[in-house]
Structure 1
C-alpha cells in the first residue's frame, strides 16, 4: 500500500474525537469523514482485531484483501477523507470477491451521506 494512503496515529485520534459517520456492511464497518485541512487526499486503514481471529495469519489475510479492494476504488474517492474499515467476524471466511463487493457497497453508502 502506498504510504500516502496510510492513516497516521494522529489521524486516528482525530477520528475518535470527531465521531465520524459509520456505515455497516456484512463483512466490515466503515467509519468515514473529512480530515483536517492540512491533510489532502484520501487516507484509509483496515483494522482487524483479535476478536475476529486470534491467529495473526488470518488477520493479515483479511487486511491484505481489504487494502487491495480499497486501492482499486480509492482514486475515485473525493476530497480530504479518512476511511477506516473495521472487520467483522464474518470477514474471516469471506473470499476476495465478497470482500471487494462489501467494500464497494460501503463506499457507495458513504458517498450518499
Structure 2
C-alpha cells in the first residue's frame, strides 16, 4: 500500500515576472501661487485655557537629596556673598590651568 503524504500544491502556470507601471498623469494646467489672506501663525499659536492657567502644579522633589523647596519664603534663596566655600567645593570651581602639553593639541 502507498503511504498517504501531503497533497501536492498546484503551481502557477505563469512563469514570467510581472512589472506594474503606475505613473502619474501630467498636470493639465500650470501651477499657480494663491494668496493666503490669513496670518500664517494663526493655527500654531498656543493659547492656554483658563483651566490650564488656574492649575497649581505640585513641585515634586526627592526627599533623600536634601533639596528643600520653599515657595513661600523668598529669603531662603538669597545668596550670602560674604560666605566662605568649603575647600572641596572651591576646588570644583577653580579654573583648570592649561599646561604646555595641553596647549599643543
- Both structures adopt the same fold (TM-score exceeding 0.5): no
TM-score (norm 2): 0.17
Between structure 1 and structure 2, the one with the greater Rg is 2
Bigger relative CO (Cα 8 Å, ≥ 6 apart)? 1
What TM-score do you get using the length of structure 1 for normalisation? 0.16
